[in-house]
Structure 1
Amino acid sequence: MNAPLRLFVKLSARPLGRGAAACVCLGALLAGCATPFAEAPVDPASPVAQDVARMVREAREEPTFASIPPIPAADRKTGDWGKAADQLELAGARLEQETAANTWTLNDTSRFVARARSEAGPDFDAAASSAAATEAFARELRERATPPPPPR
């Protein structure tokens, strides 16, 4: 390992403690200068100066705990929420069991095939969709395709 040894020197806690104490003292001194309860001055030339002065003078009615409306009687009780959650979990487990792998089969696909062929129309020809027809179509597309211009 080629790291310098000074990276592995253990520092004593004495200088760190002094620095932390100095930071706390400085923070306390500066916090004494801040007055969050003082009113900020409003520029009298500001277009909202009159509104600010009016709103500061107005007596506002602060909300109280008595103004909180009572709980409606139609709400669920605490135990009912738990019962509803249990029913939801049971429904989820039932759904997972019913949709698990190998729980369904394909039966009577001939009706589906007959309906799909009738919807395809009378011009549907199974022989036309052969590998040779596909290759001919792909060859025609390759012939019509133009390569991109070479990069400059």
Structure 2
Amino acid sequence: MKRSAANPPIPGLRLATAPLALALLAGGCASVPPAPTPGTEAAVAGVETLTGASRSFPKFSDIPNLPVDERPLAAWGEAAREVIADGEALASGGAEETWTLRGTEAFAAGALTASGPAAPTVSATASADAFAREVRKRATPPPPPVR
């Protein structure tokens, strides 16, 4: 049997070396803190003084009282119910059964009498034929020059 990287000499060698490989990889992740950069001592000292300083923190008693000139919470709910009721009334007013096509003939007749006499009609065919003749006349090439 031929030995290669695909066929290790010891069965299960890959399985046995996997934890060792993982340990070596994880060991590379551990690091030593870097040495301080020259010139950063002042910044570190400033941060330490800010974080170590005794400061007064806000208390719950510092929170202001609720405003008295605002709408009460119950009024917000009532206004929301009114908006919902108005929306439902609008939706029911535009329901399918309210839109019908009854009495259209009488409406059309009334619109025709209100619009007055009909305008004279111009034959579109005659004007189209005249335009086509004009275009053909302009598109005729000139006669060839005499030589």
**TM-score with structure 1 setting the length:** 0.36
TM-score, normalised to structure 2's length?
0.37
Greater relative CO (CA pairs within 8 A, separation 6+): 1
> Quick check: which has more Rg, 1 or 2?
2
